[in-house]
Structures are given as structure tokens and as C-alpha cells.
Amino acid sequence: MKYVISISREFGSGGRIIGKKLATKLGVPCFDRTIIQKTAEKSGLSPDFIARAEERARSRFHWTIAPLGMGSPAFATQNIPVSHQAFFAQAEVIRELADQGPCVIVGRCSDYVLDDRPDCVKVFIHADLESRVERSVHEYGIPEDNAATYIHQMDRGRANYYNYYTGHNWGDMRLYDLTINSTTTGIDGAVDLIVDMLRHREEREKAAIQF
Amino acid sequence: MKYVISISREFGSGGRIIGKKLATKLGVPCFDRTIIQKTAEKSGLSPDFIARAEERARSRFHWTIAPLGMGSPAFATQNIPVSHQAFFAQAEVIRELADQGPCVIVGRCSDYVLDDRPDCVKVFIHADLESRVERSVHEYGIPEDNAATYIHQMDRGRANYYNYYTGHNWGDMRLYDLTINSTTTGIDGAVDLIVDMLRHREEREKAAIQF
């Protein structure tokens, strides 16, 4: 079966662990933070700068402070701000990874970057605030009294970043084949649902070929 | 298992047939247009007036033309516009149906009306425009050259109606446990995914009781 699964997710929804478990179940690689290192190599920008792109996007003024003409010489000669260089290089990395074979890619606007691939299956994971606070505190060590604010800030960063580069609305379900509230299904339940969806999709494709 | 499944849907996405098939599979009743008749009985308004509420909402001026003080005497004495009387009576009918036992309820803001019930599971069905046009032409007999416009108008009506009464954003995936692109899964695939989701939800509830 030919597919690339893009998983987008709210902060603290368990989307990353769902991506990892899904990849293990399907026996394919999961690309998440590894994309940052590959993007750094391609662009000449620091991994930290690339990793913090969404974080910077929390502020509505983030684009105006991007310095010009640094990073990769190829981009620099075109006067492209480094934030944009990071995005373009990352998009290239994502497309190269998808070309290598079936895989799971978590976040990084991969749903948009791979939108022209008919084999790209798009999933969005969200969750109730209560579960997200719990996960943030226990898995990411964020102080409990600050967790809800932190979650909202992270989501705002992801939304700003996504909306800016894609022109779409982050979290618009029409962009996805499946969106799941992981509070309802649990992590393993969400993994199962994605596998089931893949199976149904494959059956439909086979049927379409027959007729 | 205790549940009420609310299915919201884009026009032409197959949401209604998914609701019916799901109900058959689960052996529970599916309430769709039957809600209109029950609402008519409760409110004294005509079934046609109730059925066309979303259609009227296509125009942004729809609320201003609602005549005052007609319909049910109980509402009339409070000077509530008949459109609102229809909504309130319908909400009452939906709550009564949900009280009777497990069932599937299609549309009519049932996700919002039943939001305070922890046993309410919310699903939204959408689909690619191409599939929706095909379904509109072959199942609803809408002329092909007019189908895309008609679909957009119907969706706008549903969105206006929903947003007005609920204060939420129609189609915001965060309101739903599961959203499915039925073009990806097919009708039967969507039914299966909803059943799977119910099962995972039940397993989680059982586990929560044990601990």
C-alpha cells in the first residue's frame, strides 16, 4: 500500500506519540524532530532556530523581526528572510522523505506541503483541555498552574505559523481525512482508527481500479 | 452501552445515510426528518416552516424577517419570534428522544443541544466537493451545472443557522469526537470507524471505572 500519513496536532493532545505508535504498528519510519536536523543541514540555519519557528510565531509581530539575507547562500542572494528559508528548506526535506516510501510525518505543515500527493493521508489530533493539561504536566514537566496558558500559547504559535505559510485555517477539519479527539478514543484507540481508515481507503482504491 | 450519537454533516457528504446505516448496525433508532413532525406537534408550527429553517438561514437577513408572536401560544405570550420557537421546540424534542435510550440523531444542532450529556458522542461528516456534486445529482436529482452552487448555499444555510443558535463555529472539529471525510472512507467505512470509536470510548470508560 502506498501512503504517507501526515499528523497535525494540538499541543498536548498526544499527536506525536500517536504518530510514533502508528508508525511502529505499520512498520514504517516516523519523522518528527529528525526533520529539524535535516533542514538544518540543507539550509545552513541552526537546528534551534528551525525548531523555534512556531514558538516565535506566537507573537503577531514575529514576521517583521526576521533578519534578512542570512542562512543559506542560495536563499540569501534572493533576499528571502531566514524564517522563510527555514520553511522552504523544511518543505523540501518533507517532500524528499515522502518520496522514499511509506512513512508517518508529524506536524511541520506536512499536510500542506504534501497536499499535491494523492497518497498523502491527513489526520488531525485534538483533545479536551483537561487531558492536555494533564499530559503537559506529567510528560513535559510544565508547572500545573501555568499549563493551560502555555497550551494556548503553543497552539496560537502553531496556528499563526500554519495560517501564514499555507493560507489555510489551522484545524479546519475539511483539510483532513480524519480528525480525532484523543480524550474520547485514547492513544491506542486513535492509532487503531487511523489504521482502519487506511484500510477503508485502500479498499476503495482497489474497488475503483476494478470498475 | 449508553450513548446518543449526534451526526452533523455537510450537504451531499452522505451523513444522513451514514447515520441510518450506523443505527441499523447498532440496532438503535435513527432520528432525522421524524424530528420535524414531532417539533410541529409540540410547537403548533407547520412541518414545512420547521424543515426550511436552514434554507431561510442562507440569507443574512433571515432573522429580521421572522414574524413575531405566532406559533405556540406558550411562546407567543413571550414575544419570541417563530424561528426561535421552532428551534426551542426542536431542542426539546431532541432531548426527549435522547432520554428514551441509545439512538442516532442526524443534524438539527443536536451536538449543541445534547452537549451537556456525557453520553453524547459527536461526529461530523464532510466530503470532497466532487463526491458531493455526484451525490447531489444522482441521489437528490439536482441539475449538474447547478450542483456546486446549490451545495455551497445549503452549507451556508446550515452554518448560519448553527452559528446563530449555538454561538459556535459550524464544522469546528474541536466540537466533535470524530470528523470523517467520507470520500476517503466510503459510506460503510465511515460507519465502521464510528462503531470502532464507540468501542474505544467504552473501553476507556470501563478502564476509568476500574482504577
Of A171, A188, A192, the CB nearest to B173: A171
- Whether A189 and B178 lie within 8 Å, measured CB to CB: no
**pLDDT greater than 60 at residue B98:** yes
Alpha-carbon distance of A163 to A169, in angstroms, equals: 6
Instruction: Count CB atoms within 10 A of the CB of residue A80.
Output: 18
For residue A103, what pLDDT is reported?
97
**pLDDT score recorded for residue B199:** 95
Measured in angstroms, the CA of B47 and the nearest CA of chain A are apart by 32
Q: What is the value of pTM for the model shown?
A: 0.89
Sequence-distant (≥ 6) Cβ neighbours of residue A58 within 8 angstroms? A153, A154, A156, A157, A160
- What is the rounded CA–CA span in Å between residue B145 and residue B33? 28
Q: Find residue A181's DSSP bridge partners.
A: A126
User: Has residue B82 got a pLDDT over 90?
Assistant: no
SS3 A161: helix
Beta strands in chain A (DSSP E): 4-9, 30-31, 103-106, 120-126, 178-181
Query: What's the pLDDT score for residue B52?
Result: 82
Nearest to B158 by CA among B171, B173, B175, B149: B171
Mean pLDDT calculated for residue range B37-42: 90
Please state, in angstroms and rounded to a whole number, the distance separating the CA atoms of residues A14 and A181: 10
Residues of chain A contacting B, Cβ within 8 Å? 121, 124, 126, 171-174, 176-181, 184-186, 188-189, 192-193, 196-197, 200-201, 203-204
CB contact under 8 Å between A185 and B204, yes or no, is: yes
Measured CA to CA, the distance from residue B125 to residue B79 in angstroms comes to 36
Residue A27 gets which letter from DSSP? T
Which of A176-180, B87-91, B158-162 has maximum average pLDDT?
A: A176-180
Task: State the DSSP code for A174.
Answer: G
* A185 interaction partners in chain B (CB closer than 8 Å): 177-178, 197, 200-201, 204
Range B78-97 average pLDDT: 84
Nearest chain A residue to B181 by CA distance is: A177
Helices (H) and strands (E) in chain A, counts: 10, 5
Cα–Cα distance measured from residue B124 to residue B15, given in angstroms and rounded to the nearest whole number: 8
- Min Cα–Cα distance to chain A from B68, Å: 37
Higher per-residue pLDDT: B28 or A64? B28
| Residue A52: per-residue pLDDT | 82
Measured CA to CA, the distance from residue A151 to residue A147 in angstroms comes to: 6
Confidence of residue B75 (pLDDT cuts 50, 70, 90): low
pLDDT of residue B60: 58
Q: Residue B54 — very low, low, confident or very high, per pLDDT cuts 50/70/90? A: confident
User: Given an 8 Å threshold on Cβ–Cβ distance, is B189 in contact with A204?
Assistant: yes
pLDDT per residue as tens digits for the range B127-143: 999 999 999 999 999 99
CB contact under 8 A, A178 and B172: no
Distance CA B144, CA A13 (A): 42
Quick check: helix, strand or coil at residue A123?
Answer: strand
Cβ–Cβ gap B174/A126 under 8 Å = yes
Q: What is the ipTM of this complex?
A: 0.88
pLDDT attached to residue B70: 46
Identify the pLDDT of residue B69. Answer: 41
Indicate yes or no: CB of A197 within 8 angstroms of CB of B189: yes
Q: Note the pLDDT of residue A86.
A: 85
Mean pLDDT (whole number) for B101-112: 94
Euclidean distance between CA atoms A191 and A196, whole angstroms: 9
Q: Looking only at Cα atoms, what is the longest distance across chain A?
A: 58
Looking at beta carbons, which residues of chain B come within 8 Å of A184?
Answer: 121, 177-178, 197, 200-201, 204
Residue ranges, chain A, pLDDT below 50:
64-71
Give the model's confidence band at B64: pLDDT under 50 very low, under 70 low, under 90 confident, else very high: very low
Given this model, what pLDDT does residue A68 score?
Answer: 43
pLDDT-above-90 percentage for chain B? 63
Across chain B, mean pLDDT equals 88
pLDDT of residue A50: 87
Using pLDDT thresholds of 50, 70 and 90, give the confidence band for residue B195. Answer: very high
Per-residue model confidence as pLDDT tens digits over B5-26: 999 999 999 999 999 999 999 9
In this predicted structure, what is the pLDDT of residue A62?
54
Chain A partners of B188 at a C-beta cutoff of 8 Å? 200
